[in-house]
Amino acid sequence: MSASVLDKVAEPEFSPHLTQFIKDWKDKPGSLIMILHQLQQQFGYLPRAAILKLSREINLPLAKIYGVVTFYHYFKLTKPGRNNIQVCMGTACYLKGGEDLLQELENMLGIGVNQVTEDGEFSIESVRCVGCCGLAPVAVCGTVFGKLVPEKLPEILGKLKAGGEQP
């Protein structure tokens, strides 16, 4: 499959690391997911233009890549907020009130899961076990907030907004 010249609109830059990574892996079968991880790492999500460019570079139909991207929750097609708050819904966190945290966050920010606030500051994500069940319930945003209760959320959001807790 050869892509037409007309496709080349506003191509995003790939970092040297990403470019080399794609070069090293593109001809090896089963490497798409790994490459997508790297792509998402550079952009924070998977911009359509970047997937289009990748599609040409690894000579794989865009539809195939989208099939994989939409299958796995980890891959994001929309740009997350500057602070992407991941609320753990693993068994321990769920039992200890993870859902209350999620509910409270949604109320405070006025957005749902996988949505971004209008100012681009916050987004909320519901994730599976993050591996520190002893601290349940847990939310993650750059750092781990353990034994969390809804009452602590305003303070955390304030700090995040001020930029203190960015990774």
Partner 1 sequence: MVTIQFNGKTSVVPEGISVLKAGTMTGTKIPSLCAHPDLKAWGACGICVVKIEGSPKMVRACTTTVVEGQNYLTHDPDLVETRRTVLEMILSNHPNECLTCARNGCCELQTLSAEFGIRDVPFDTDVKLLASDLSNPSVQLHPSKCIACGRCVIVCQDLQDVWALEFLGRGDQTRMAPAGDVTLAESPCIKCGQCAAHCPVGAITEVDETRKVWNYLRQNDKHVVVQIAPAVRVALGEEFGLEPGTIVTGKIYAALRRLGFAKVFDTNLSADLTVMEEASEFLQRLTTGGTLPLITSCCPSWVDYLEKYYAEMIPHFSTAKSPMMMMGSLIKTFYAEKSGFGAKDILSVAIMPCTAKKYEIQRSHDMSSSGMPDVDCSLTTRELARMIKQAGIDFKNLPEELADNPLGDYTGAGTIFGATGGVMEAALRTAYFLVSGKNLGKFEIEAARGMEGVKVAKVKIPTDGLGAPGKELELRFAVAHGMANVRDVMNQVKAAENAGEEPPYHFIEVMACRGGCISGGGQPYGSTDEVRAKRIAGMYKDDASNALRCSHENPSVQALYRDYLGQPLSAKSHQLLHTHYQPRPLYVR
Residues that bind partner 1 (CB under 8 A): 1-7, 9, 48, 51-52, 61-67, 70-71, 77
DSSP labels, the chain: ----GGG-SSPPPPPHHHHHHHHHHTTSTT-HHHHHHHHHHHHSS--HHHHHHHHHHTT--HHHHHHHHHHSTT--SSPPPSEEEEEE-SHHHHHTTHHHHHHHHHHHHT--BT-B-TTSSEEEEEES--S-GGG-S-EEESEEE-S--GGGHHHHHHHHHHTTT--
- CB of residue 33 to partner 1, shortest distance in Å: 14
Residue among 61 and 154 whose Cβ is closer to partner 1 = 61
- CB of residue 72 to partner 1, shortest distance in Å: 8
- CB of residue 50 to partner 1, shortest distance in Å: 12
Residue among 44 and 154 whose Cβ is closer to partner 1 = 44
Residue among 49 and 95 whose Cβ is closer to partner 1 = 49
Residue among 47 and 81 whose Cβ is closer to partner 1 = 47
User: Residue 61 gets which letter from DSSP?
Assistant: -
Residue among 6 and 162 whose Cβ is closer to partner 1 = 6
- CB of residue 9 to partner 1, shortest distance in Å: 8
Q: How many CA atoms lie within 13 A of 8 on its CB side?
A: 7
- CB of residue 71 to partner 1, shortest distance in Å: 5
